[in-house]
Protein backbone atom coordinates (compact mmCIF):
# COMPACT_ATOMS: atom_id res chain seq x y z
CA UNK A 1 0.00 0.00 0.00
CA UNK A 2 1.45 3.40 -0.84
CA UNK A 3 2.42 5.88 1.84
CA UNK A 4 -0.60 8.11 1.22
CA UNK A 5 -2.99 5.22 1.79
CA UNK A 6 -1.13 3.96 4.86
CA UNK A 7 -0.99 7.45 6.29
CA UNK A 8 -4.70 8.02 5.58
CA UNK A 9 -5.69 4.85 7.40
CA UNK A 10 -3.55 5.78 10.38
CA UNK A 11 -4.96 9.29 10.47
CA UNK A 12 -8.52 7.96 10.37
CA UNK A 13 -7.75 5.57 13.24
CA UNK A 14 -6.30 8.42 15.34
CA UNK A 15 -9.34 10.59 14.61
CA UNK A 16 -11.74 7.78 15.53
CA UNK A 17 -9.85 7.23 18.81
CA UNK A 18 -10.85 10.80 19.66
CA UNK A 19 -14.47 10.10 18.72
CA UNK A 20 -14.40 12.98 16.23
CA UNK A 21 -16.27 13.29 12.93
CA UNK A 22 -14.22 14.35 9.91
CA UNK A 23 -15.89 17.73 10.23
CA UNK A 24 -14.83 18.16 13.84
CA UNK A 25 -11.29 17.07 13.06
CA UNK A 26 -11.13 19.40 10.05
CA UNK A 27 -12.38 22.34 12.12
CA UNK A 28 -9.78 21.68 14.81
CA UNK A 29 -7.01 21.51 12.19
CA UNK A 30 -8.25 24.55 10.27
CA UNK A 31 -8.79 22.47 7.13
CA UNK A 32 -11.84 21.70 5.01
CA UNK A 33 -13.79 18.52 5.71
CA UNK A 34 -13.51 17.37 2.10
CA UNK A 35 -9.72 17.77 2.27
CA UNK A 36 -9.46 15.70 5.46
CA UNK A 37 -11.71 13.08 3.85
CA UNK A 38 -9.40 12.93 0.80
CA UNK A 39 -6.28 12.63 3.00
CA UNK A 40 -7.90 9.77 4.93
CA UNK A 41 -8.70 8.02 1.65
CA UNK A 42 -5.10 8.43 0.51
CA UNK A 43 -5.98 10.52 -2.53
CA UNK A 44 -4.16 13.67 -1.45
CA UNK A 45 -0.48 14.16 -0.80
CA UNK A 46 -0.35 16.46 2.23
CA UNK A 47 2.59 18.77 2.78
CA UNK A 48 4.75 18.97 5.87
CA UNK A 49 2.82 22.03 7.08
CA UNK A 50 -0.48 20.15 6.78
CA UNK A 51 1.01 17.15 8.60
CA UNK A 52 1.91 19.47 11.45
CA UNK A 53 -1.63 20.91 11.60
CA UNK A 54 -3.15 17.42 11.64
CA UNK A 55 -0.79 16.22 14.38
CA UNK A 56 -1.35 19.36 16.49
CA UNK A 57 -5.13 18.97 16.22
CA UNK A 58 -4.73 15.39 17.49
CA UNK A 59 -2.43 16.57 20.29
CA UNK A 60 0.44 14.34 19.18
CA UNK A 61 3.84 14.79 17.52
CA UNK A 62 4.34 14.12 13.80
CA UNK A 63 6.64 11.28 14.89
CA UNK A 64 3.70 9.73 16.72
CA UNK A 65 1.47 9.94 13.64
CA UNK A 66 4.07 7.97 11.64
CA UNK A 67 4.70 5.37 14.34
CA UNK A 68 4.56 1.92 12.81
CA UNK A 69 3.93 3.17 9.25
CA UNK B 1 11.28 27.72 14.48
CA UNK B 2 8.69 26.51 12.00
CA UNK B 3 8.32 22.87 11.07
CA UNK B 4 9.94 23.32 7.65
CA UNK B 5 13.08 24.81 9.21
CA UNK B 6 13.24 22.20 11.97
CA UNK B 7 12.73 19.42 9.46
CA UNK B 8 15.37 20.86 7.13
CA UNK B 9 17.96 20.98 9.91
CA UNK B 10 17.20 17.41 10.90
CA UNK B 11 17.40 16.22 7.31
CA UNK B 12 20.76 17.95 6.84
CA UNK B 13 22.09 16.31 10.03
CA UNK B 14 20.95 12.87 8.84
CA UNK B 15 22.57 13.43 5.42
CA UNK B 16 25.82 14.59 7.01
CA UNK B 17 25.86 11.49 9.23
CA UNK B 18 26.02 9.50 5.99
CA UNK B 19 28.87 11.66 4.72
CA UNK B 20 26.86 12.52 1.59
CA UNK B 21 26.88 15.73 -0.41
CA UNK B 22 23.49 17.24 -1.27
CA UNK B 23 24.05 15.99 -4.79
CA UNK B 24 24.64 12.40 -3.68
CA UNK B 25 21.61 12.50 -1.40
CA UNK B 26 19.45 14.00 -4.15
CA UNK B 27 20.57 11.33 -6.63
CA UNK B 28 19.75 8.56 -4.15
CA UNK B 29 16.30 10.06 -3.51
CA UNK B 30 15.60 10.73 -7.19
CA UNK B 31 15.27 14.47 -6.54
CA UNK B 32 17.13 17.50 -7.83
CA UNK B 33 20.04 18.87 -5.80
CA UNK B 34 18.52 22.35 -5.70
CA UNK B 35 15.29 20.92 -4.33
CA UNK B 36 17.10 19.03 -1.55
CA UNK B 37 19.04 22.20 -0.77
CA UNK B 38 15.78 24.16 -0.47
CA UNK B 39 14.21 21.52 1.78
CA UNK B 40 17.28 21.59 4.04
CA UNK B 41 17.02 25.39 4.26
CA UNK B 42 13.34 25.12 5.18
CA UNK B 43 12.13 27.05 2.16
CA UNK B 44 10.13 24.22 0.60
CA UNK B 45 7.16 22.37 1.99
CA UNK B 46 7.74 18.75 0.95
CA UNK B 47 4.79 16.41 0.45
CA UNK B 48 4.28 13.05 2.10
CA UNK B 49 5.56 11.27 -1.03
CA UNK B 50 8.76 13.32 -0.96
CA UNK B 51 9.21 12.64 2.76
CA UNK B 52 9.02 8.94 1.98
CA UNK B 53 11.65 9.23 -0.77
CA UNK B 54 13.99 11.15 1.52
CA UNK B 55 13.57 8.66 4.37
CA UNK B 56 14.05 5.67 2.04
CA UNK B 57 17.24 7.18 0.62
CA UNK B 58 18.53 7.53 4.19
CA UNK B 59 17.47 3.96 5.00
CA UNK B 60 15.21 5.03 7.87
CA UNK B 61 11.47 5.25 8.53
CA UNK B 62 9.58 8.54 8.27
CA UNK B 63 8.96 8.18 12.02
CA UNK B 64 12.73 8.17 12.55
CA UNK B 65 13.17 11.34 10.52
CA UNK B 66 10.67 13.15 12.78
CA UNK B 67 12.11 11.80 16.02
CA UNK B 68 12.58 14.64 18.46
CA UNK B 69 11.14 17.30 16.13
Residue from the list B7, B63, B67 with its beta carbon closest to the beta carbon of A48: B7
Which residues of A touch chain B, with CB atoms under 8 Å apart?
Answer: 3-4, 7, 45-49, 51-52, 61-63, 66-69
pLDDT tens by residue, B39-63: 999 999 999 999 999 999 999 999 9
Q: What is the pLDDT of residue B24?
A: 98
- Which of A3, A61, A63 lies at the smallest CB-CB distance from B52? A3
Mean predicted confidence (pLDDT) in A44-68:
97
Q: Chain B: residue nearest A42 by CA? A: B48
For residue B1, is pLDDT > 90?
no
DSSP B24-45: HHHHHHT--HHHHHHHHTT-S-
The C-alpha atoms of residue A66 and residue B28 are separated, in whole angstroms, by 22
Segments forming the whole domain that contains residue B47: 3-65
In chain B, the number of structural domains is 1
Looking at residue A42, which CATH number applies to its domain? 1.10.260.40
Amino acid sequence: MDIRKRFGKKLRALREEQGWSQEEFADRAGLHRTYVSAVERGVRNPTLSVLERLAKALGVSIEEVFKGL
